[in-house]
Amino acid sequence: MTRIALLIEYDGTNFSGFQIQNHKSSIQGELEEAIKEFTGQKTRIKYAGRTDSGVHAEGQVISFDSKVDRDLRQYIEGINYYLPESIAVKEVNVMLDHFDPRKHALSRTYRYNIINSEKRYPLLNRSHFRVVNKLNISKINESINLFVGEHDFKQFSGPLPKGINTYREILDICVSKEQNVVQFIVKGKSFLRRQVRRMVGTLVDIGLDKVSYDQLKSFLDCSNKPIVYTTLPPQGLCLVNVEYPDIFYKNGEKI
């Protein structure tokens, strides 16, 4: 058996999320069916991140064990043949037998795309969220680094299982604007459910003068619960990269 890792890109618009759900279309379900068609063996994949319904990915990583002895390039072509147009295998690697894409990830990087304009851009609706009022990027930059480091992010999470550890470490976060496109890049070791969308939503509120620097600081200190959470919609969010230690790449190459 060979442990195979695939780099996956997908448009999450028409899926119920990454993880398999009963009687609903999922990214995981499509991938497992395509792998079964190509290899002739039923498999349950492992994955780096469980993206929500409507969230996209450029750098999702999955792994599975294969008995098929074929050139790696054939894995890309063969699995893609059975996938819908909204999902694609981009790269393939042979990994060490104990590699786990979730447990062994050093970091995950997400991007959130915003169109900051009074005008509508229908062709960007699937990948951007539109904010009509002008964002104050300078104010956002004054507050954005408050997120860096380890914090209790329970104020920024959706519903969670009882007893889960809500402390997470943000390694880097930044915002950029080019013409009317605003991008937030958030890098962390792992994230709680809806954490990135609520973090960026709070920063957008700061840029709209709805939340202050001091209020954000108190949210992170868990000393003041926000009256209204701004959870941005899923279509602007994309998993862009997952980083791993070099030691897991059996052939010395990186995804």
| pLDDT tens readout for residues 97-111 | 899 999 999 999 999
Question: Is the Cβ–Cβ distance between 27 and 51 less than 8 Å?
Answer: yes
Quick one: what percent of the chain has pLDDT higher than 70? 94
> Is the per-residue pLDDT at 252 higher than 60?
no
How far apart, in Å, are the Cα atoms of 225 and each of 47, 179, 201, 219, 231? 33, 34, 15, 6, 15
From CA 44, how far away is CA 33, in angstroms rounded?
A: 10
Q: What is the mean pLDDT of residues 20-43?
A: 94
Q: What pLDDT does 158 receive?
A: 78
Q: Do 2-104 and 107-240 have matching folds?
A: yes
pLDDT beyond 60 at 206 = yes
Among the listed residues 66, 56, 1, 6, the one whose alpha carbon sits nearest the alpha carbon of residue 31:
6
Residue 196 DSSP SS3: helix
- pLDDT at residue 154, as a whole number: 87
If you average pLDDT over residues 223-240, what whole number do you get? 83
Residue 161 has a pLDDT of: 82
What per-residue confidence (pLDDT) applies to 131? 98
CA–CA distance, 97 with 60 (Å, rounded to integer): 19
- Helices and strands, number each (H, E), in the chain: 5, 10
What's the pLDDT at 224?
59
User: For the domain with range 2-104, which CATH number is right: 3.30.70.580, 2.40.30.10, 3.30.460.10, 3.40.50.800?
Assistant: 3.30.70.580
Enumerate the domain spans of the chain.
2-104, 107-240
Sort strands 107-116 and 129-131 into parallel, antiparallel or unpaired: parallel
What pLDDT was estimated at residue 227? 53
Cβ of 167: how many Cβ atoms within 10 Å? 10
Q: What pLDDT score does 251 carry?
A: 63
Parallel, antiparallel, or unpaired for β 46-47 and 56-66?
antiparallel
Residues forming the active site: 52
Average of per-residue pLDDT values in the chain = 93
Which region holds residue 209: left if phi is over 0, alpha if psi is between -120 and 50, else beta?
left
- Residue of 163 and 253 predicted with greater confidence: 163
- CA distance to 64, 144, 212, 217, per residue, from 208 (Å): 45, 14, 10, 17
Fold of 107-240: Alpha-Beta Plaits (3.30.70)
Give pTM, 2 decimals: 0.94
